Amino acid sequence: MKKNILLILFILLIFTFFTNSCNLRKRKNYNVVLIVIDTLRADHLPFYGYKGGYEKNTAPFLNNLSKKSVIFKHAFAASSWTAPATASIFTSLYPFQHGVQMGLLAIKFAQRVDPNITINKIPEKIKTITEVLKQNGYKTFGISDNLNIGELEGFTQGFDKFETYGYNQASFITKRLMEWKREIKKNGKYFLFIQFMDPHAPYYGKKPWYKHSEVFKEDIISRYDSEIRFVDSYIKKLYKEFGWGENTLLIITADHGEGLWDHGHMDHGKSLYMEEIHVPLVFHYPEIKKKKIIYPVVSTIDILPTVREILGIGESKEEMGKSLLPLIENRKNRLNERYLYSHLWKNIRTVVEFRATIHKKWHFIMDSRKNRFLYDMSNDKKEKYNIYGAHSKLAEKLNKKFTEFYINSKKYTKQKVHIKLTKEKLKKLKSLGYVQ
């Protein structure tokens, strides 16, 4: 009898412990701020090891913020193109699952730009990060300086207020947010999504940080770095004005990176090499008192599940990402064993497709022509040496993992939107490189 009573008390104690733990997590009413910095390469930030840039510090504020943040050293985007990559952040699904693959891309044939284009949008059946938070009592606000992130593409689902612009720069976006400040901070917790366009091309040399060079490539990189410094200064302003150092879960990442001739080309959406998919991922919230660096490979599709667990919101089996909180809290996990994927699909004159599998230190890529590339990311950070020939068996295992996941994963019916572009919109798209 005595043993039975002790057993019951022990069970009640364990139950109380777990219940209290869950309740504590559920009681975290942090504001959530998600900042996506368009086209920002991780390796051009000082806390990711960058040695160049203005006074060798392209982002002094973010560098200082990193000292009280979680830094994921090896975070990868789900695509190297804005619309699919950002849709994956919003949905925790890969591009071939949510179906957003092209975005605003006008096609030029024989000097004629076709104003009639078809794009994909996030299917209404998919629950986005905005809708998850709105259903949990959050007011929801969003502002994007990229034309690819707006109502047409389905990104406004669940937002109380959302505005889309076309590269008006961080100064304008910050000014607009300051006009919203009272509304955002009034009456309870909020979710705020910001997509800065800087440092997307065309690169504007921002003074005093831009240093002109007669060498074309050096000058381009100087312009690019000066834009990082520019947007960093405005994130600092918003951080102070909104008080994000208190009661706020602040997440900073990028939709994708940028090719700066690492593999013979600039721009993005042209490959799945490291420079185009390795992005910064920073989590900053009150419980983090000092810098914590996480080394296992992670994906931007992990953002939504991680937000869920930090706030104590139930997980979803529909999402393909995993909560990264076990890594942050040093809990036992097998996240380092995962296979992560990235995908690029564009239909220009012909279909262009790249598939990538990332596992531990290995990065496998296959293109439309079935060319295969394997890189050892730990020993070849610039991915100069294709070692497929020496490790073909391993590479084909990675290729098989992608194929199996691709075949077996749940895919949503694509939703299409037909658009007739105005001359003004075409001109803007051309300046941003979205006319090809």
Task: Decide if pLDDT at 10 tops 90.
Answer: no
Of 408 and 425, the structure prediction assigns the larger pLDDT to 408
Closest to 53 measured CA to CA, from 206, 202, 174, 168 = 206
Where do the domains of the chain lie? 29-431
Mean of pLDDT values over 67-88: 97
pLDDT value of position 418? 78
Tokens describing residue 365 = 């890529």
pLDDT value of position 20? 41
Tokens describing residue 23 = 């309740």
Q: What percent of the chain has pLDDT over 70?
A: 90
Q: What is the pLDDT of residues 346-372, one digit of tens each?
A: 876 778 899 999 999 999 999 989 999
Per DSSP, helices labelled H in 100-215 are: 129-134, 169-185
pLDDT value of position 410? 96
Mean of pLDDT values over 148-176: 95
Of 56 and 431, the structure prediction assigns the larger pLDDT to 56
Cβ(258)–Cβ(347) below 8 Å: no
Q: What is the pLDDT of residues 110-161, one digit of tens each?
A: 455 667 777 889 999 999 999 999 999 999 999 999 989 999 899 999 999 9
- Quote the CA–CA distance of 174 and 208 in Å, as a whole number: 19
Instruction: Name the pLDDT band for 21 (thresholds 50, 70, 90).
Output: very low
pLDDT value of position 110? 46
Rounded to a whole number of angstroms, the CA Rg of the chain reads 22
The pairing of strands 75-76 and 259-260 is: unpaired
Predicted structure pTM score? 0.91
Q: What percent of the chain has pLDDT over 90?
A: 77
pLDDT value of position 422? 76
Q: How is residue 119 annotated by DSSP?
A: E
pLDDT value of position 95? 96
pLDDT value of position 24? 41
Instruction: Name the pLDDT band for 2 (thresholds 50, 70, 90).
Output: low
Which architecture characterizes domain 29-431 according to CATH? 3-Layer(aba) Sandwich (3.40)
Tokens describing residue 217 = 């490539």
pLDDT value of position 49? 94
Per DSSP, helices labelled H in 135-262 are: 169-185, 216-242
Q: Which residues contact 153 (CB under 8 A, 6 or more apart)?
A: 83, 87, 100, 103, 104, 119, 120, 121, 122, 417
Cβ(77)–Cβ(254) below 8 Å: yes
Mean of pLDDT values over 373-400: 97
Per DSSP, helices labelled H in 27-103 are: 60-65, 82-91, 95-98
Q: Which residue has the tokens 């949503």?
A: 412
Mean of pLDDT values over 288-296: 97
- How many CB atoms neighbour CB 208 within 10 A? 8
Mean of pLDDT values over 247-268: 94
pLDDT value of position 11? 54
pLDDT value of position 386? 98
Dihedral over alpha carbons 153, 434, 98, 338 (to 10 degrees): -140
Q: What is the pLDDT of residues 29-72, one digit of tens each?
A: 999 999 999 999 999 999 999 988 777 799 999 999 999 999 99
Of 15 and 174, the structure prediction assigns the larger pLDDT to 174
Mean of the per-residue pLDDT values of the chain: 90
Of 51 and 301, the structure prediction assigns the larger pLDDT to 301
Q: Which residues of 379-418 are buried (b: 16+ CB within 10 A; e: fewer)?
A: eeeebeeebbeeeeeebbebbebbeebeeeeeebeebeee
Sheet architecture: strand order including 139-144: 161-164, 139-144, 190-196, 31-37, 248-253, 281-284, 70-72, 292-294
Q: How is residue 31 annotated by DSSP?
A: E
Q: How is residue 118 annotated by DSSP?
A: E
Closest to 58 measured CA to CA, from 67, 50, 69 = 50
Q: How far is CA 269 from CA 35, 202, 254, 358, in A?
A: 21, 15, 14, 18
